[in-house]
Chains A and B, each alone.
Chain A
Amino acid sequence: MTEKTLDRPFTVASFQTYMNEGRLMGSRNRATGEVFVPPRPIDPATYGEDMEWVELSGRGTLAAFTAVYIGTSAMIAAGYDRTNPYLAGVVALEEGPRVSAQIMGLDSKQPDIDWIGRPVRATFVERGEGEKRRAFLVFEPV
């Protein structure tokens, strides 16, 4: 991979920039192959710092979730409330790392504990106005 964008530092801002471009990216320790999403500049297990960017498939399974009735201000601004709860979850990516994301495409008013383990895939939604507009990672059932 030699494209110019792969020179970015392993920061929160770079991760967000990739998401704004529609890509879910992580860092990979060249020495061990361990992948980190969101990207980490230091491998906490080996202290290795020789990292490279890697694009994730976006495929994973739901590891834990909730239907949030009393939401964050940002989610209330996005139109969710007590009568229209949203789903938030932890997704285990097929490459190993886990991430937190909103879960869409399932009925938040009929949650089922057996959704855990369900295959999901990543997509992005854009929210916010003007300079604050940015992409948010979400997952949908496959």
Chain B
Amino acid sequence: MKKLNRGVAVVGTGMSQFGAFPEKTTRDLFVEAFQDMRASVGRGLDPTDIEAIYIGNYSSDLFEGQGHTAPIMADWVGLAPRPATRVEDACASGGVALRQGVLAIASGLYDVVLVGGIEKMSNLPIAGVTDALATAGDVSFEIPAGFTFPGFYAAIATAYMHRYGASADALLRVGIKNHENGKLNPKAQFQARIADLMAGRIARAQQKGLPVPSWQTEMDFLHDDGANPYIAWPLRLFDCSPVTDGAAAVLLVSEEIARRFSDDPLYIIGTGQASDTSALHDRPELTALRAAQLAGQQAYAMAGVTPDDVKIAEVHDCFTIAEIVATEDLGFFAPGTGHEAAEEGLTSRQGPKPINTSGGLKSKGHPVGASGAAQVVEVWKQMHGAAGERQVERDVDLAMTHNVGGTGQTCVVHIYERR
């Protein structure tokens, strides 16, 4: 099995507030993330120690009309003239930027690397966002069919539901769970449970003297076509991650010098990445992401651990079905049983395999190029017992991040260990 030439450690992580911020550009968000990261470096960071910067960014070109973003981010945190490289693999850009940082340190070229992820999506109207995201699919052979990103994952959902008998309610359970977690994440875009959102709607109707909805449970609310409309059947609004502005930053250093920065570094003991056919239709299986399976297998083999060893995982829940498929692709649950695990609560904070304790992309928000880097922030907090109210009870000495680009044309997985 391939190993890294030398060990790589995470010694600091940070993120901006996630949400919709008309008054902020990507550079403002990245500065926020950088400052948050710097504050997390236990023994302090002298920025002049940073030797290179890798920025995950899907499409500031389309979202903001700004290309060539890596040197801008470097400049705005005082890192010019260090080499600054933008990494684009759609929604996996942040995770792949992380991997590039890992490889750069493992190569021996650098000892201290800053990894970032950025995306500012809320400038465009929803049709513009839909079109911009669709370019992560195959614009020659898929988008002319009318596929959108919710549409692709909806098609995966129909194939999955047909093959395994899963219900649409199993998907909604993922959203309920991720909002339960996001409520407790002060950086999340939606710090509210579905039940809170429902109660808010009822209260507003009462206040305005409008007819009061008859919802008794979260499922009543989620089954209401008015409150939770279809985006791409069978996926509804609350099956989809939101349009988000945000940034994240991760400080990587070589293992030998990690304790100069932190008393409690996290070691990246496994990394894996794979690609797949440009079109979803060309895959032999529509109910799994082959690249995620391969990336996971590579990371497990490098780390010498198994799925059972992973205490928590941040997985790429761009849509609720994606989380269910991810938990199967990574070997946490057998193929076709991820939907049952979701319904039984096995992936809740109190369950045996907590997934997306941050609130996931669904509730924390999904600034697409930033998400892969932002996942590391949650892993850092949970592994250091610093996740506040959403801290899981068990000791998290091993954790995983799983980041997907497009419909699985790119997948990247990392495994972290606290020693």
Which single member of A74, A100, A102 contacts B141 (CB below 8 Å)? A100
Which single member of B142, B146, B161 contacts A68 (CB below 8 Å)? B146
Interface size bracket, A side: 35 or more
Judge whether A98 is part of the interface by a CB distance below 8 angstroms: yes
Known: A66-B158, A98-B281. Contact between A75 and B146, CB under 8 A? yes
Q: How far is B285's CA from A98's CA once the two chains are assembled, in angstroms?
A: 11
Judge whether B68 is part of the interface by a CB distance below 8 angstroms: no
Q: Which residues does chain B contribute within 8 Å of A38, judged by CB atoms?
A: 140-141
Contact present for B286 and A71 (CB under 8 Å) = no
Q: Which residues does chain A contribute within 8 Å of B138, judged by CB atoms?
A: 100
Judge whether A101 is part of the interface by a CB distance below 8 angstroms: yes
Q: How far is B237's CA from A70's CA once the two chains are assembled, in angstroms?
A: 10
Q: How far is B127's CA from A80's CA once the two chains are assembled, in angstroms?
A: 13
Known: A72-B134, A72-B146. Contact between A64 and B230, CB under 8 A? no
Contact present for A70 and B148 (CB under 8 Å) = yes
Q: How far is B280's CA from A90's CA once the two chains are assembled, in angstroms?
A: 8
Q: How far is B126's CA from A32's CA once the two chains are assembled, in angstroms?
A: 46
Q: Which residue of A lies closest to B165 (CB)?
A: A113
Contact present for B146 and A64 (CB under 8 Å) = no
Contact present for B143 and A90 (CB under 8 Å) = no
Minimum CB–CB distance from A109 to chain B (whole Å) comes to 9
Minimum CB–CB distance from B281 to chain A (whole Å) comes to 4
Contact present for B148 and A72 (CB under 8 Å) = yes
Q: Could you count the A-B residue pairs with CB atoms below 8 Å apart for me: how many are there?
A: 117
Contact present for A68 and B148 (CB under 8 Å) = yes
Judge whether B233 is part of the interface by a CB distance below 8 angstroms: yes
Chain A contacts with B in 106-142, Cβ cutoff 8 A = 111, 113-114, 116-117, 136-137
Q: Which residues does chain A contribute within 8 Å of B130, judged by CB atoms?
A: 70-73
Q: How far is B147's CA from A136's CA once the two chains are assembled, in angstroms?
A: 13
Judge whether A4 is part of the interface by a CB distance below 8 angstroms: no
Contact present for B126 and A72 (CB under 8 Å) = no
Q: Which residues does chain A contribute within 8 Å of B162, judged by CB atoms?
A: 64, 113-114, 116-117
Chain B at the A interface: SS class: helix
Contact present for B158 and A113 (CB under 8 Å) = yes
Q: How far is B131's CA from A76's CA once the two chains are assembled, in angstroms?
A: 11
Which single member of A63, A69, A73, A75 contacts B159 (CB below 8 Å)? A63
Of the listed stretches B42-50, B105-113, B149-157, B325-333, chain A binds B149-157
Q: How far is B140's CA from A99's CA once the two chains are assembled, in angstroms?
A: 12
Contact present for B229 and A88 (CB under 8 Å) = no
Contact present for A66 and B233 (CB under 8 Å) = yes
Known: A64-B155, A116-B158. Contact between A71 and B148, CB under 8 A? yes
Minimum CB–CB distance from A4 to chain B (whole Å) comes to 25
Contact present for B145 and A102 (CB under 8 Å) = yes
Judge whether B346 is part of the interface by a CB distance below 8 angstroms: no
Known: A70-B231, A76-B127. Contact between A64 and B159, CB under 8 A? yes
Q: How far is B159's CA from A114's CA once the two chains are assembled, in angstroms?
A: 10
Minimum CB–CB distance from B185 to chain A (whole Å) comes to 27
Q: Which residues does chain A contribute within 8 Å of B280, judged by CB atoms?
A: 90, 100
Contact present for A73 and B232 (CB under 8 Å) = no
Q: Which residues does chain A contribute within 8 Å of B23, judged by CB atoms?
A: none
Q: How far is B232's CA from A64's CA once the two chains are assembled, in angstroms?
A: 13
Judge whether A58 is part of the interface by a CB distance below 8 angstroms: no
Judge whether B308 is part of the interface by a CB distance below 8 angstroms: no
Chain A contacts with B in 19-75, Cβ cutoff 8 A = 38, 63-75
Q: Which residues does chain B contribute within 8 Å of A82, judged by CB atoms?
A: 229
Minimum CB–CB distance from A135 to chain B (whole Å) comes to 10
Which single member of A64, A75, A85, A116 contacts B233 (CB below 8 Å)? A85
Q: Which residues does chain A contribute within 8 Å of B233, judged by CB atoms?
A: 66-69, 85, 111
Q: Which residues does chain B contribute within 8 Å of A100, judged by CB atoms?
A: 138, 141-142, 145, 147, 279-281
Contact present for A88 and B147 (CB under 8 Å) = yes
Q: Which residues does chain B contribute within 8 Å of A72, judged by CB atoms?
A: 130-131, 134, 143, 146-148
Minimum CB–CB distance from A37 to chain B (whole Å) comes to 9
Judge whether B393 is part of the interface by a CB distance below 8 angstroms: no
Contact present for B282 and A66 (CB under 8 Å) = no
Q: Which residues does chain B contribute within 8 Å of A90, judged by CB atoms?
A: 155, 159, 280-281, 286
Q: How far is B289's CA from A98's CA once the two chains are assembled, in angstroms?
A: 17
Contact present for B232 and A69 (CB under 8 Å) = yes
A-B pairs, 4 with minimum CB distance: A66-B154, A67-B233, A64-B159, A64-B155
Interface residues of A (CB under 8 A from B): 12, 38, 63-76, 80, 82, 85-91, 97-102, 111, 113-114, 116-117, 136-137
Contacts A74-B144, A86-B146, A98-B282 aside, 6 further interface pairs with beta carbons under 8 A come to A66-B151, A67-B233, A69-B229, A70-B130, A100-B145, A100-B280
Listed A/B pairs (9) with beta-carbon separation below 8 Å: A64-B155, A66-B157, A68-B146, A69-B230, A70-B148, A100-B145, A100-B279, A102-B145, A113-B234
